[in-house]
Chains A and B, each alone.
Chain A
Amino acid sequence: MTLTVTLRAEAPIPLDLAFAVAPEELLALVGPSGSGKTTILRTIAGLWRPTTGRVAVDGECWLDTAAGLALPAHRRHVGVVFQTYALFPHMTAAQNVAAAMDRPDHTEAARLLDLVNLHGLSDRRPAQLSGGQQQRVALARALARKPAALLLDEPFSAVDRATRERLHAEILALRAHLKMPVVLVTHDMNEAQLLADRMVVIDRGRLLREGTTAAVMADPDALRALGIREVAALLPATVIGAEEDGLTRLDTATGPLFLPGIDSPPGTRLRVRIMAHDVILSRDRPMGLSAQNILPCTVTAIRPGDGPGVMVHLAVGDSVILARITRRAAAELALQPGDKAHAVLKSMSVARDHIA
């Protein structure tokens, strides 16, 4: 069921790229606005036709301009969650879901609405639902099509931060049920990093980088298009419990992390997104410091960039976190791969929605 996409076009934006998404894989298409992400998604869905291109899923060809083949959107088994959700306003939630079935099956519609955690609201119309609830209906409707590929076009951009956090967690939980390739278009690097297995970075219609999320997020060249301040890594951690002062203690491979605002119960495995520019490096374990989180780590690589900064890769157990420090600081510390060091992180620098 691998989805392969090749396309080239001059208008509305120049496009020239190719990529593939494996079954059960979630690929994030990221890039600055106007880079062509949504156009790529529309090409896969059959809502837009490039000058030359080929889109195939599991051997079934949806578009092959060389062979003069272009299946109309309604003949492609594709599930799309639109940025605005595009729910049918005159139908209830259940009717919206059933509308995507070739033969409406209301038991199945109810099951899908349960799957996206929308209980007891199946008779409401879109106008009577909150943004997050509408997003869930849109997702259930996309799944009702039994899609060979699931396309998500900035699906979390129209909801508030707290809802977005919840929806992120729900998508991660839903992943086990998603057997098809999933393409997520987003400009939110945090979202891409928390949700996606692989990333394709697009800049002005061209594929700038493709790789696992961890590799792309560690690559300064890839991130130049997205903003170097987005460089970050995910650190796995287990929730231990709430402390008296409101911080939550989490255990990582090499030591505890104390972070605010974590509601998950003890024992929950989480991934904490640590921004490279938030990490301070110290050779010795620092004393008399306000920062609460000091993780022993090993330098694995030092990658200079074009500017005055370097990216230091640090092994924390089996995981790698990144520290973006100045070239000058790296020289003063005389850091070499293999050196032991301490990564220092302020509790308050980890945003709530950077944890999933």
Chain B
Amino acid sequence: MDWTALTLSLELGLWTVAILLPVSVLAGRWLAYARFPGKGAVEALVMLPLVLPPTVFGFYLLLAFGRNSPVGTFWQDTFGHQLVFTFEGLVVASVIFNLPFAIQPAQRGFEAIAPELREAAATCGMSPWKSLRKVELPLAWPGLMTAMVLTFAHTLGEFGIVLMIGGSIPGETRTIAIAIYDRVQAFDMRGAGIMSAVLVAISFTTITLTYLLSARIGRRLA
């Protein structure tokens, strides 16, 4: 059992969730309420990572983040090391790749709030910020939680992009999914089996907890 790989995967998942939570609140809320020309194009762009093969997406990210790219050069100049084949690179790639998994459910969560409720919040004297905290977030919470759980679970299992962007450097970019693949390559079926089972257990627990929690919230609002 490669505990380092598991820890790395969990860390990658948590970082991705931590960064995407505020992003999904802001972007999901904006897409839910705003009416503007080209909204469909923006939504399509957000959904793009969902339909692209991870290897294709990873290939483009590799080009975009590489040593000779503007992003790669900027990173190298600012932090003194390159972005590709590092944990930070994985986090950036993971955040981008998970945009649809985070924003889409968050957007649905905000869309489910009746417009009169936001109007009522305003006529109750709540500023947009207070309305977000007191009314919208509590009501959009099931959608946001779905977004975060999907993102987390999806990050744990991501393979193609991690391989393209990060390779398989132990303790840096070798996530549990990569480690399982390596074990199979080395004909260590038992090791791969144990790790796969652990991954199944973690994913199953996460999803179950989410369902239990959303059922509770649903009962509270019903």
Contacts and interface: CB of A to CB of B under 8 A. Distances in A.
Contacts, number: 71
A99 B119 contact: no
A89 B134 CA distance: 11
Interface in B122-176: 122-128, 130-131, 134-135, 138-139
A47 B122 contact: yes
A101 B124 CA distance: 7
Contacts of B42: none
Interface residues of B, number: 22
Contacts of B120: 80, 82, 86-88
B48 interface: no
Contacts of B124: 74, 99-100, 141, 144-145
B41 interface: no
B116 interface: yes
Interface string A78-94: 11101010111110000
A75 B123 CA distance: 8
Contacts of B123: 45-47, 73-74, 76, 78-80, 142, 145
A88 B117 contact: yes
B117 A72 contact: no
Contacts of A89: 117, 139, 221
A284 interface: no
A99 B124 CA distance: 7
| A interface: dominant SS | loop
A82 B119 contact: yes
A169 interface: no
5 contacts: A73-B122, A74-B127, A75-B125, A101-B125, A141-B124
B119 A84 contact: no
Interface of A: 45-47, 72-80, 82, 84, 86-90, 99-102, 125, 127, 141-142, 144-145
B220 interface: yes
Contact of A86 (B114, B138, B221): B114
Contacts of A72: 122
A80 B124 CA distance: 8
Given A45-B119, A74-B121, A86-B120, 11 more contacts: A45-B123, A46-B122, A47-B123, A73-B123, A74-B127, A79-B123, A80-B123, A86-B114, A88-B120, A99-B121, A145-B123
Indicate the member of B123, B125, B127 with the most A CB atoms within 10 Å.
B123
A46 B134 CA distance: 20
B212 interface: no
B51 interface: no
B34 interface: no
Contacts of A141: 124
A213 B221 CA distance: 42
B125 to A, nearest CB: 5
Given A47-B123, A72-B122, A82 B116 contact: yes
A145 B125 contact: yes
Contacts of A88: 117, 120-121, 134-135
B114 A73 contact: no
B186 interface: no
A127 B126 CA distance: 23
A72 B119 CA distance: 11
B221 A127 contact: yes
Nearest to A72: B122
Contact of B116 (A75, A84, A125, A144): A84
A90 B114 CA distance: 13
Contacts of B116: 82, 84, 86
Given A86-B117, A88-B117, A99 B126 contact: yes
Contacts of A78: 123
